[in-house]
Amino acid sequence: MNRKGRIIAFFLIVLLLGGIIGTTTQGITKDIPLGLDLQGGFEILYEVEPTDDDQEVNKKMMEAVVQSLYKRVDILGVNEPVIDIEGENRIRVQLAGVSDQNEAREILSTTANLSFRSVEDEFYFGGSELVEGSAQQNFNEFNQPIVTLETKRNFSNSDYANFEELTREVSQLPSTPTAEVPYPQNLIVIWLDYQEGDSFAEEYGKEDPKFISAPSVSKPIPGTNVQIDGSFTVEEAKNLADMLNAGSLPAELTEVYSVAVGAQFGEQAFDKTVFAGILGVILIFVFMIIVYRFLGVIAVISLSAYIYLILLVFNLINGVLTLPGIAALVLGVGMAVDANIITYERLKEELKAGKTVASAARAGNKRSFTTILDANITTILAAIVLFIFGTSSVKGFATMLIISILLSFITAVYGTRLLMNLWIKSKALNNKPRWFGVNPNEIMDINKGEEVKPTFLGKTFDFVKHRKIYFSASILLVIVGAIFLTTMRLNLGVDFESGSRVQVMSDNQLTVEEVRSEFEELGHEPKQLVLAGDNEEMAMVRFDKVLTQEEIATVNNHFEELYGSQPSVSTVSPQVGQELAKNAVYAVLIASIGIVIYVAIRFELIFAITAIIALLHDAFFILALFSIFQFEFDITIIAAILTIVGYSINDTIVTFDRIRENLSLEKRVKTFKQLAEVVNKSLMQTLTRSFNTVITVVFAAVMLFVFGAQAITYFSFALIVGLIAGTYSSLFLAAQLWLVWRGRSIESNPIVQKKKKPSGGPQV
């Protein structure tokens, strides 16, 4: 292919990509289901317990419960419900887009065990004698709402042969109240979920009795039709019919964890976070073009393809997009940018050394490949651990992060190089270093053997010289952080402490006193109450206790009537809170161990140990800041910490990879001074890459922090802090620790490199 043909091919590829992205993106994004945090709805974790002592919770029972729950969800008309079995005795139900959460809760958890009894609470027959699906909402002769049922022709689990035989006997009982028995006895009392100890005599006469209805029977009723009247509204009668048709649950369900998000909350969160994400991506694009000129344009093209591919793959795997998922997508752009920056900086280095554009591109691509591969593998390890140990929203984040890493590698390594090589092989960029962001005055004469001196903003720094200052600063920060953590501790959210969290939203500005008084009126004393939102139209309220289903319904109804929007309510039982805390610790430990093993294999054990010290330093720094500012620490912050673990080790590996490469270029390193020079040179060579990468990712995180939804504010803050801390630890801590540790034995055991082997480890 000639010069003109390659340039034409470049523009044809770009036009093809633009056409595909422009014409299909809307359809793809429209088909991606949104999580409950983006469209409202709720998620409940149930613990399954047997209804009878002789039953046991086994696989068959769990599957039967799931089938019953799916029947009940059908009544609600929810699209694509998610019901999963977790462990031996738990079921997680996720229902996005539910309009009436109180109704959904009641329909899901009510066992719907219908029983027909005497006024003395003797059992006549149960729901098993009803024809499946026969319950209907209807009207009686007085146009009052009723529920009609159909029984089986012959009873199999009753002392009576059929419904007619039962009504014949009941009709012969006294129909007139007496002084001893103040109600007729020819009644069939209809109970829903009758429990031992319930009594018709005690409930009779109450305004809201536990039993549903108690119709009198004056004569035998032939056939199989049953009528239930109980002063119902049309809606109550319909709900009862739906519940009966859904059947009784084969077990009891206890709610141990729940998250409910009002539709208004979800819509606002979606709009804000998408806007923040778009702003972050635009800033990244502008930065890349300003810094890398023509290469930046290529990066923008490949990053656009990357974002499109992520949405396409997520759609194909039927992924559910959540708030953390959007954050992972935006941060994934930062990961893809990092791969581009590593390649571009290596290419610029080779150009400054005096190489031709073609040879500079070959060398830059070759030497950056291993670095990008190592950095991506360590980040994906953290993402896999997140997926295994995380809750549903965290799993969504981890899924998006894993897809992001894989696709960023493909687009940044292969897509970018394809587009770049079309121009380079066309020779249209020969003798045009400014197109790559290289000043012609910086180019050395390769024939004279001039060496490129790495600089940052035109200056050189001696990082190694001041290592004791960095160590002292880190130690001081750790001590201060430890003091705050031991005295003030972390402000643990309900995820870890158990309790309830309620987010109240209003169209107008709220006050602490107003919201507190409303909750006190309902009999609830908030542990913590904080206003949020642009105009303080949102209140975040914490309670020590787990609100019951009835209390949640009361809170929802009260604030919906008051402010026109249902609150977002989350509850976590003590047992689940302890499990989440334990899983969080396991996640961090396992991710760290996995990274140590990988780095030890790819580099050497000393590299791995110093990298982990730097990694733990970054994680501790986030914990310390959350303790100092008393920001709420919930499960999403663990996701942020593990993401920072990936980014931190990513940055550290890029530095270590350059140290390893520079060591391979040295024949023999016999003194500490020589080793220090190698380390300092490596740090200077990677400084621009580290700075540019962290700036681009921080752009995205800052936009999420400033403009994103309230639910990911602290998550974004943790990312910003962690990204800055990770860059600091890579430059000033990990490499310096390795130098001190390895330097102690350098004179007695010098580093000898027998041959150049940039992709291998140093031979000791």
133-183 per-position pLDDT tens digit: 788 888 887 888 888 888 888 888 888 888 889 989 989 998 888 888 888
Contacts of 169-174 with C-beta under 8 Å, sequence gap 24+, read 170/118, 170/217, 171/217, 171/218, 171/219, 171/220
Strands 252-261 vs 568-572: parallel, antiparallel or unpaired = antiparallel
Looking at residue 5, its pLDDT comes to 82
d(CA 565, CA 389): 33
Strands 252-261 vs 528-532: parallel, antiparallel or unpaired = unpaired
d(CA 343, CA 298): 12
Work out the pLDDT band at 200, boundaries 50, 70, 90.
very high
Q: For the residues of 668-695, what is the DSSP string, one character each?
A: EE-SHHHHHHHHHHHHHHHHHHHHHHHH
User: Residue 538: CB partners within 8 Å, gap ≥ 6?
Assistant: 503, 504, 505, 506, 510, 531, 532, 710
Average pLDDT, stretch 627-631? 87
DSSP, res 452: P
Strand partners, 92: 45, 84
Out of 173-187, 196-210, 392-406, 670-684, least confident range: 392-406
Average pLDDT, stretch 201-211? 86
Give the Cβ contact number of residue 465 at 10 Å. Answer: 10
State pTM to two decimals: 0.71
Query: Residue with structure tokens 């539910």?
Result: 98
Please indicate whether residue 316 or residue 106 has the higher confidence score (pLDDT): 316
CA-based nearest residue to 272, from 447, 92, 38, 84: 38
> Which tokens belong to 387?
């997926």
In this structure, the dihedral spanned by the alpha carbons of residues 441, 447, 451 and 453, taken in order and rounded to 10 degrees, is: 10
d(CA 297, CA 285): 8
Three-class SS state of 741: helix
Whether 721 has a pLDDT exceeding 50, the answer reads: yes
Mean pLDDT of the chain: 81
Looking at residue 28, its pLDDT comes to 84
Mind listing the pLDDT tens digit for each residue in 577-614? 777 777 777 777 787 778 778 777 877 788 888 888 88
Whether 230 has a pLDDT exceeding 60, the answer reads: yes
Q: In 293-415, which residue ranges form alpha helices assigned H by DSSP?
A: 294-316, 323-352, 357-389, 392-409
Out of 389-393, 542-546, 673-677, least confident range: 389-393
Looking at residue 764, its pLDDT comes to 26
Looking at residue 451, its pLDDT comes to 65
Strands 41-49 vs 90-96: parallel, antiparallel or unpaired = antiparallel
Looking at residue 15, its pLDDT comes to 92
Size (the chain), residues: 764
d(CA 722, CA 715): 11
d(CA 589, CA 592): 5
Query: pLDDT above 90 covers what percent of the chain?
Result: 4
d(CA 241, CA 244): 5
Average pLDDT, stretch 547-560? 86
User: Residue 390: CB partners within 8 Å, gap ≥ 6?
Assistant: 397, 398, 583, 587, 635, 638, 639
In this structure, the dihedral spanned by the alpha carbons of residues 75, 78, 81 and 83, taken in order and rounded to 10 degrees, is: -30
Give the Cβ contact number of residue 755 at 10 Å. Answer: 8
d(CA 663, CA 657): 10
Could you report how far apart the first and last alpha carbons of the chain are, in Å?
47
Residue 539 Cα distances to 496, 514, 524, angstroms = 21, 10, 15
Whether 762 has a pLDDT exceeding 50, the answer reads: no
Opening angle at CA 615, ends 612 and 620, nearest 5: 125
CA-based nearest residue to 371, from 664, 660, 614: 660
Whether 91 has a pLDDT exceeding 70, the answer reads: yes
Contacts of 549-553 with C-beta under 8 Å, sequence gap 24+, read 549/105, 549/106, 549/109, 549/255, 551/522, 551/524, 552/101, 552/102, 552/105, 552/260, 553/102, 553/105, 553/106
Q: Which residues of 570-594 are buried (b: 16+ CB within 10 A; e: fewer)?
A: bbbbeebbebbbebbeebbebbbeb
Strands 136-139 vs 145-150: parallel, antiparallel or unpaired = antiparallel
Query: Are 637 and 712 a contacting pair, CB within 8 Å?
Result: no
Whether 761 has a pLDDT exceeding 70, the answer reads: no
Mind listing the pLDDT tens digit for each residue in 39-55? 777 888 888 887 666 66
Whether 757 has a pLDDT exceeding 50, the answer reads: no
> Which tokens belong to 84?
């999963």
d(CA 293, CA 222): 89
* Structural domains of the chain sorted by starting position, each given as residue range(s) with its CATH number in brackets: 3-35+263-448 (1.20.1640.10), 41-109 (3.30.70.3400), 114-246 (3.30.1360), 467-490+593-752 (1.20.1640.10), 499-572 (3.30.70.330)
Query: pLDDT above 70 covers what percent of the chain?
Result: 91
Mind listing the pLDDT tens digit for each residue in 285-341? 888 888 888 888 988 998 898 888 888 888 888 777 777 777 777 767 777 787 888
